Amino acid sequence: MTPNALGAVASPQAARLDRAAIQALYNRPLLELVFEAATVHRAHHDPQYVQCSQLLSIKTGGCQENCGYCSQSAHHKTPVKREPLMSTEEVLAAAKRAKDGGADRFCMGAAWREVKDGPDFDRVLDMIEGVNSMGLESCVTLGMVNEDQASRLADAGLDYYNHNLDTGRSHYDKIVTTRTFDDRLNTLGNVRKAGMSVCAGGILGLGEDRDQRAELITELANLEPQPESVPINALVPVEGTPLSEQQVVDWTEMVRTVAVARIAIPGARVRLSAGRQEMSEEAQAMCFLAGANSIFVGDELLTTPNPSQSSDAAMLAKLGLKGVGMPKQAPGK
């Protein structure tokens, strides 16, 4: 198969795997699992390429949801301050800096429970059009959207809509109660009906067990069609949230989840997302071997820290990987 300019190749929907099969993958010896995932990865993608996105919080804090991990929830007392929706000019200036710094996709996140029609939504549509005009892929995460709102986003040219499932269905109501698991699936359905690509993944370290992680991947794998982008996050505990005392998830569970996601959702870009700041280069290298082929660049992910772009460029150079659009850097520098 021939890779495209970003290193991906077209691939059919994977054969369906039930939860028992996903659980069996999770419980395999780690190196055997990574070997299989690496084989699947090479059958569907050029393993040299890592897609680079940058994420900006365009409206921060004050969210009506009570997600137990989130620093932006109005239900929790955290260090995050409420900020209004940024101006279109501010966002487009940030998008230009992201492109100049090596990102090829620009993601915009607003701390909303759901989209509400009005001037703020109109402004977001203008932002999307402006980002697209720069030659960047556009992505937003705005909470729940109905069919009409999804259509308006598509008409503005939006490439990806991000709406994570967060965790397995059986663990979900222990993390958030202000919207249901099916609410999330309904939003993803509306995005699909509008013809946009889906970015949907989850978070490890929310108190779930391995079987519930398998439950999450099974749900994602059974979306029709499967998500084009699957972010795998590790919880970054934030003071003031209900999950602030959670232990950081072991790096091997990140590798396992990346590998299982790669096998179950072979055509997707599997993104190593939040929590990467706490991972060693060696652990990240194992994730890339297991099939991760996308990262967020930039110093911050919404409100949590992220490795610097210079350190990412140096790491990818050491590994002989090509960050799509990232500045070139000689190995060992």
Where in the sequence numbering do the catalytic residues fall? 63, 67, 70, 107, 139, 199, 271
Phi, psi of 57 (to 5 degrees): -80, 110
Residues 177, 220 contacting (CB under 8 angstroms): no
Q: Which uninterrupted H or E stretch holds 319?
A: helix 309-319
DSSP state of 174: T
Tell me the longest C-alpha to C-alpha distance in the chain: 53
Phi, psi of 181 (to 5 degrees): -60, -40
Residue keyed to tokens 């198969």: 1
Residues 202, 215 contacting (CB under 8 angstroms): no
Other Cβ atoms within 10 Å of 183 Cβ, number: 15
Residue keyed to tokens 């039930």: 18
Number of residues that make up the chain: 333
DSSP state of 327: P
